[in-house]
Amino acid sequence: MSNYHIKNLEEYYQVYRKSVRNPQSFWEEIAEEHFLWRKRWDKVLDWDFEKPSIKWFEGAKLNITENCIDRHLHIRGNKTAILFEPNDPKEETQHITYRQLYERVCKFANVLKEKGVKKGDRVCIYLPMIPELAISVLACARIGAIHSVVFAGFSSTALATRINDCEAKMVITSDGSYRGAKTIDLKGIVDDALEHCPCVETVLVVKRINVEINMKEGRDQWLQPLLDNAYQDCDPEIMDAEDPLFILYTSGSTGRPKGMMHTTAGYMVYTAYTFKNVFQYREDDIYWCTADIGWITGHSYIVYGPLANGATTVMFEGVPSYPDFGRFWDIVQKHKITQFYTAPTAIRALAKENLDYVTNHDLSSLKVLGTVGEPINEEAWHWYNDHVGAKKSPIVDTWWQTETGGILISPIPFATPTKPTYATLPMPGVQPALMDEDGKEITGNQVDGRLCIKFPWPSMARTIWGDHQRYKDTYFSAYPNHYFTGDGALRDEVGYYRITGRVDDVIIVSGHNLGTAPIEDAINEHPAVAESAIVGFPHDIKGNALYGFIILKETGESRDRDNLGKEVNQQITDRIGPIAKLDKIQFVPGLPKTRSGKIMRRILRKIASKDTSNLGDTSTLLNPEVVEKIMEEAL
């Protein structure tokens, strides 16, 4: 993949115009030139946003792992594909070459087959950031099994919900994980989850922290002995372009998580193309994305996008603060990282620490910096630009979603002049639209509205697993014939986009998408709680933190509030995971409601943000006295 780099702004506009005038021929050209197909497609695109139905490269046959591994072997067999940096800096870095990756994926794939996993079966992967995570993902793809990676910070209840939703027959996990100075009992969490998951037949366990764990006879097996006996070649399963590749859960504004389903060919083409352009990737670069493979960023821009380009991709097991706040910069210096891609929340956390942690390191290898997951505030942007990038590495503020599969809006380094807090311009083939509340498109510049996309791009999710109606209702109903993102955005005088945040009940905390409903459900299960409402409020490091307003039952009134608060947070940790814990809890006599009984979150958001000078239109508010009381006692 050498000749589709965009080099300057003029070229960007040319390419963009071409991609919009004729998207089919634009994507066809890229697909033709850069990938290995077992059979060519019959039709580039077939779409209908009303159904909704989206098909790219219909009729084509391929295997994504052949594109990510096999085809590199003759030219890059000895090149490092995955560079694994362990949690403990004293433990040795691992360099896994493309040749070794091939063998390890094939062996793993043969183990899956031997355990009865077949094309179309779902395999749940609940692993820390160790090489086996990437390898098991690729092993599933090798045999056409659908992987469903669950971030290893989710609780057993959250894990069980995700396993059951897609009826996974196998879980791949480890005896535990390292996280800074701590270890986490992953296998124990899996055991608890599986009490409620009759669909799971087999659990494969990777040895990582060498602790005694419970192995259930007939269900659980250590992975290594199986790998030792497995054959080192495995013919790839030949997949249809639209065969499912993976399911990845994301929070919704209502209870159940949404299993976004991504398919094979379009996802591959789009992630490879955007990886190459957004990071201006060149053959000898050492690329590092600090995300976890448990999120879409890791799927698309640690595993598939980089490997489809034959890149060296770094996997980091640890955290930015261990053994000290210089760890990221140690790694950049040690491996001469050229592209560094992280989340604004990490930048804000590191910017709070002594600058020596940064300046003590040689970061001159860096060429491109990236951010993802939430809006980046101006201060963090400048800190990143000045101290990490030495004002010479462009920052790509990449906007996208689990649902979009790949980056949709981002500067192209050295082509698009950057502007702090702006994701800037759409990628080729991406057609954004801003809509007003009545569903009309807002044209022209210096406007703001709700961000939609009006034409399909290859890596969009095709459905919500098992619930196509919800897919339609969530993304294609608010604005007919448009994909609705759930985000608000503004377009400045030159057409640059700035994402202003969610306009629905999803709150982004430390870059993690959290739905209010599942958190409220978890709180309401507490025996002393009658009702609750969660809103976000601005937080220095997390971007947003959670503020819970809780009404107690009569039986709870006499209880100590601090203890109750702790119990509520424990309840959330058990049901969802520690990422969803509340920073502030206020016990209230009631919640502001409309006459039809809907909670007026807008008012709660203002109270939580200490912005109560103007509460806006309160004419439909049923109980103004409750609002007075909540304001008086606000934290």
Site of interaction with ligand PRX (CB under 6 A):
250, 296-297, 372-375, 397-402, 423, 485-487, 499, 502, 508, 513
| CB-nearest residue to ligand PRX | 402
* Cβ closest to ligand PRX, residue 183 vs residue 421: 421
Name the residue nearer to ligand PRX (CB basis): 266 or 411.
411
| Of 103 and 292, CB closest to ligand PRX | 292
Q: How many helices (H) and strands (E) does the chain have?
A: 21, 31
Please state, in angstroms and rounded to a whole number, the distance separating the CA atoms of residues 315 and 293: 9
Nearer to ligand PRX, 144 or 543 (CB): 543
Q: Which is nearer to ligand PRX, 163 or 508 (CB)?
A: 508
Q: What single string gives the DSSP state of each residue in 404-447?
A: T-S--B---TTTSPP-TT--BSBPTT--EEEE-TTSPEE-SSSE
CB of 486 to ligand PRX, least distance (A): 6
Residue 372: closest CA among 336, 338, 408: 408
What is the rounded distance in angstroms from the CA atom of residue 230 to the CA atom of residue 108?
Answer: 8
Distance CA 44, CA 135 (A): 30
| CA gap 260, 163 in Å, rounded | 14
Tell me whether residue 499 or residue 568 sits nearer to ligand PRX (CB atom): 499
Shortest Cβ 609–ligand PRX spacing (Å): 18
Nearer to ligand PRX, 276 or 450 (CB): 450
CB of 506 to ligand PRX, least distance (A): 7
Residue 93 burial (CB count, 10 A): 14
From the number of C-beta atoms within 10 Å of its C-beta (0-12, 13-18, 19+), residue 352 rates as exposed
The nearer residue to ligand PRX, 349 or 395, going by C-beta atoms, is 395
CA separation for the pair 569, 591 (Å, rounded): 20
Task: Compute the least distance from the CB of residue 26 to ligand PRX, in Å.
Answer: 23
Which ranges of 148-234 does DSSP label H, i.e. alpha helix?
156-166, 186-194, 223-228
Closest distance to ligand PRX from the beta carbon of 71 (Å)? 27
Cβ burial 576-607 (10 Å sphere, 16+ → b, else e): bbebbbbbebbbbebbbbeeeeebbbebbebb
Beta-strand ranges (E) seen in 506-604 are 506-509, 512-515, 529-539, 543-552, 584-587
Q: Which two three-digit tokens encode residue 108?
A: 């793993």
Judged by beta carbon, residue 133 or residue 489, the one nearer ligand PRX is 489
**Residue nearer to ligand PRX on the CB measure, 117 or 499:** 499
Contacts of range 52-56, beta carbons closer than 8 Å, 24 or more positions apart: 52/471, 52/472, 52/475, 52/476, 54/456, 54/460, 54/462, 55/241, 55/242, 56/27, 56/241, 56/242, 56/263, 56/265, 56/266, 56/269, 56/456, 56/458
Shortest distance in whole angstroms from residue 3 CB to ligand PRX: 28
Closest residue by Cα to residue 419 from 386, 394, 446: 394
Considering the complex, state which of residue 274 and residue 571 has its C-beta at the smaller distance from ligand PRX.
274
**Residue 403 Cβ vs ligand PRX, minimum distance, rounded to whole Å:** 6
Q: State which amino acid sits at residue 473.
A: D
* Minimum gap (Å) between residue 184 Cβ and ligand PRX: 22
> What is the CB neighbour count within 10 angstroms for residue 523?
23
Look up tokens 């092993």; give the residue: 139
Minimum separation from the CB atom of position 375 to ligand PRX (A) = 4
Q: Is the dihedral of CA 211, 214, 215, 220 positive or negative?
A: negative
* CB of residue 561 to ligand PRX, shortest distance in Å: 33
- Report the alpha-carbon distance of residue 106 to residue 231 in Å, rounded: 7
Smallest gap from residue 187 Cβ to ligand PRX (A): 26
Q: Which is nearer to ligand PRX, 338 or 513 (CB)?
A: 513
Shortest CB 613 distance to ligand PRX, Å: 27
